[in-house]
Structure 1
Amino acid sequence: MSSPPIITSSSFSSSNPFSSLPEDVIRAHIFPRLDGCSLASVGCVTPELHSLSSDHQLWSHICHSKWPSTTTSTLTHLISSFKGGSRSFFSLSTLPPNHNIPSPSPSLSALPDQIISAVDIFYRGKCIFSKVQATETVSGWFKCSPFRIDLVGPKEAVPTPISRPSHEDTCQNLYADLELSWIVVDPTGHKAVNVSSLLPVSVERHWLSGEVHILYATVVCGHVTCSVEVTCVGGGPGGLVLHVTEACLKMEDIDGAHLNGRDSLVVLQRVLEGKRGNLCSENRKMGKVEEGRKKYLEFLERRKERREKILRREGRLDNLCVMIGSFLFVGLFYLLCFY
C-alpha cells in the first residue's frame, strides 16, 4: 500500500484539483487510509476537512483496527457514550500518561465503582491476545488487598506464534517485536488512559525453567509505577512455541511495596484526569515510549539510592546499639567486680 497522501491548506485551495473531489471520495477512499494521528492532523487544516474528519465511523474503524478489544459490544457501547465518541477515546488512549501529574487528589466519593481493562498484545504488528475485563472497586477485599488485575487464569494458557528461545537466546528481539496496550476505562466518568509502556522495559529468560518474563512499566505521579507483567512458557507440540500464562497489572511505590486497591484507585483516578497531550505522529509517539523507558530506569535508580540510604541509616543505628550495649556491659561488669 502506498503512503497516505499529505494534505495541507494549500492543497485544499480552490486552485488545486483536490478541492474538486467529491466529499464521498475523500471520506470513503482517502481518509480510511490514514492512521488516527494523520487524520487528526488533517482535521486541523480547514473547517471543511475538520467536518469530514470528524465522522464517527472513521474513528470507530481506527479504534477497532488499533485495539481489537474495542470491537466487543461492551466497549463499543461505552465508547459511544464518550463526549466526542471514538475520536475522544483514541485521543485519551494513544499516548502514555504524563509522569508528573499536578492535578489534586480526587475525593473518595468521586472514585469509580468499576474499572474496565481493555488489553491487546501484538507480535510483529499482529494481535495475539485481546481481552476486556471489568473489575469492581467497592468491596473491602479490593480496597485492602494488594492491587492486582489478572487476565489469564491459573490453568489457562494462550498460544502465540513466538518461537521458544534457546538457552543461548537472550530474547532481545522481543523488545521491538512484542507490543502491549492496557487501557483502563472509567465507565462512569467516561475517561480512559493507557497505562502500558507499549514496548517492554525489561525482558528476561529464566535460566532453569525457560520462562520468559516481560515487563511493561510506566511511572506516574513521580513515585508510583504501573507495571504489567507477562509470563510466557514453552507449549504446544514439543514445546516449540511460547504460551502466555500470566498477564497482570500491579502498582508499586518507590520502595517496591505493592499498593492496595484503594490507594491504587486514587492514583488511577489522578492519571485518568491528567493530560496526555494532543494526537501525535508515530515518530513522536515512539519518542514518548523512549522517554517513558528512560523515566522508568531513572525511577529504578532512585529506588536503589533510597534503599542504599536506608541500609546506611540502619547500619549506623545498629552500630550505635552495639556501642550502647557494650558500654552498658562494661559498666555492669565494673560494678559487679569492684562493688
Structure 2
Amino acid sequence: MNPPPSAGAGTAGFPTLHPEIIDSHILSRLDGPALASVACCSADLRFHSSDHNLWLSICHSTWPATASPRLSQLISTFPGGGPRAFFSHAFSLLSKRPITTLPPSAPPEILSAVDIHYDGKLIFTKLHSTETGSDWFRCSPFRADLMELKEVPPTAVKISAGFGNGDMHEGIMTLSWIVIDPVGRRAANLSSHEPVSVQRHWLTGELEVRFGSVFAGDGGQVMCGIVVTCGGEMEVREVRMEMEDMDGKHLNGEESLAIMQGALVGEKGTGKNRTAEARRRYAEFEEVKRERRERELTRERDWEILCLAIGLSIYFYFWYYIL
C-alpha cells in the first residue's frame, strides 16, 4: 500500500517509517477500538488505519465465527467501509429506543456469528443460519438452538473456583452473538458481552449463564435472552436465544424478527461500559416483570375472593328463601 500524496505532513516520526512497518508491525498489534482512536490522530495515520485487510483481520480475531469464507466475503461488501463498517456495527452497544420504521421486507435469512470465550480461551464458535420465510417460523415461539441433541460438546476448560451461585466473576466468560442481514448488509451484536446472570442448578450442578439485551417493542420492553448451559469442567451443552416480553411470554418468529430488524437498523452507541449498561437494563426489566407478575397475582386473588363472596351470597340467599 503506497502512502498518500500528503504523507509526511502528519505525526512526526511515522513518515520516516516504511509503510509496511507501520501496517504489519505497529497497527496490526492493535485491537479495533485502539485502531479507531489512532485513526483520529492524523491524516497519515487515518490513511494507514483504513486498510481493508487490517480491519478484516481484526474482525476475525475478535469474532472467530466471522472467519468463514462466506462471512469474510460478505463483510468485505458492507457499505461504508467493508470490514471497518462491520466492526462498527458489531462492537457498538445497541440503543433501547423504539424503532418506528422498519425495512419494507424481511430478510429471507438471518445469519448468527456466535463466539464464547472462557478465561480468554475460545470454547465455542459457530455460524448459524435461520430461515425466516416459512409459516412455521413466523407462528411458532422463536428459539435459536445452536447445538443439536446428538452433537458432541466442544472442548471443556476448568471452571474457576466460585464461578456460579450468582457470582458472575466479571471478565471470565464472554459471549458475542452477531446477527447479520446478508441482503441489507447490516449487523448487530445482541449480546451483553459478559453475563447478566449466573445460576447453578442445585441438583445437577449445571451452570446457566445468561446474556442478553433489552429492546423496545410494540407493547413495551422485550428481552433478547441468550442462555449458555454448561456442565462438568465448563463443557458447553446448550446455547440458545429466545425473546420474551415483560409478561414472560415468549415471542414468535415474526415478532422476534421485527425486534432483530429494529436492532439492525436502529441507533448504535459506543461500546464503552456496555456490560454495565446491559446489566442495568436487565435488572430494570426483571424488576418491571416482577411487579407486573405481582399485580396480576393480586388481580387474580381479588377476583377469586369476589367469586367466593358471590357464591356464598347466592348459597345463603337460596337457603334463606327455602326456609
Q: Which residue of 2 aligns with 1:306?
A: 292
**TM-score normalised by structure 2 residue count:** 0.90
Q: What percent of counterpart residues are identical? A: 43
Q: 2:243 aligns with which of 251, 254, 264?
A: 251
- Which residue is 1:95 aligned to? 92
Moved more, 166-175 or 147-156: 166-175
**Which stretch shifts more, 302-311 or 313-322?**
313-322
1:17-69: per-residue Cα shift (whole Å, max 9, x none)?
33333333222222112111111122222233222211100100100110111
1:267 positional shift:
0.8
Tell me, in whole angstroms, the C-alpha distance in 2 between the residues paired with 1:123 and 1:274. Answer: 30
Counterpart contact for 2:228–2:239, Cα < 8 Å: yes
Q: Hey, what does 1:133 align to over in structure 2? A: 128
For the structure 1 residues 329 and 88, does the alpha-carbon distance in structure 2 shift closer, same or farther, using more than 3 Å as the test? same
Where in structure 2 are there 5+ consecutive unaligned residues?
A: 1-7
Task: Give the counterpart of 1:149 among 136, 141, 144.
Answer: 144
Q: How many Å separate the matches in 1 of 2:287 and 2:145?
A: 28
CA distance in 2 between partners of 1:149 and 1:131 (Å): 12
| Letter of the structure 1 residue corresponding to residue 88 of structure 2 | S
Aligned to 1:82, which of 64, 78, 85? 78
- Equivalent pair of 2:193/2:274 in contact (CA under 8 Å): no
1:175 touches 1:201 (CA, 8 Å); kept in 2?
no
- Given candidates 29, 35, 39, the residue that maps to 2:35 is 39
SS at the partner of 1:228? strand
User: 1:269 — aligned with what?
Assistant: 261
Amino acid at match of 1:232: C
Residue 5 of structure 2 corresponds to none
1:144-176 CA deviation, whole Å, 9 max, x = no partner? 111011111112232334226889974846543
CA distance in 1, matches of 2:149, 2:74: 29
Q: CA deviation at 1:250?
A: 0.6
Q: Residue 206 and residue 14 in structure 1: after superposition, are their counterparts in 2 closer, same or farther (change >3 A)?
A: closer
Residue 168 of structure 2 contacts residue 195 of structure 2 at CA under 8 Å; is this kept in 1? no
Match status 1:58 vs 2:54? yes
Match runs of 1:60-209 below 5 Å: 60-83=56-79, 84-98=81-95, 100-106=96-102, 109-163=104-158, 170=165, 172=167, 175-209=170-204
Deviations 1:193-241 (A, max 9, x none): 110111111112212112111111211116111111111122xxxxxx3
Residue correspondence of structure 1 range 258-297 to structure 2 within 5 A? 258-278=250-270, 284=272, 287-297=273-283
Report Cα offsets for 1:181-203 as digits up to 9, x if no partner.
Answer: 11110111111111011111111
Structure-2 residue corresponding to 1:224: 222
RMSD: 2.2
TM-score, normalised with respect to structure 1: 0.86
CA distance in 1, matches of 2:212, 2:171: 15
- Map Cα deviations across residues 270-305 of structure 1 (whole Å, 9 max, x no partner): 111112125x5xxx2xx1211111110111011101
Distance, in Å, in 1 between the alignment partners of 2:288 and 2:11 is 59
Partner AA of 2:195 in structure 1: P
The one-letter amino acid of 2:322's match is: L
Distance in 1 between the 2:47 and 2:299 partners?
63
Residue segments in structure 1 that go unaligned for 5+ positions in a row: 1-11, 235-240
Question: 1:121 Cα shift?
Answer: 0.6
Whichever structure has more helix as a proportion of its residues is 1
CA distance in 2, matches of 1:165, 1:15: 45
Q: For 1:15 and 1:193, how far apart are their aligned partners in 2? A: 34
Contact 2:168/2:198 (<8 A) preserved = no
Q: Secondary structure at the match of 1:31?
A: helix
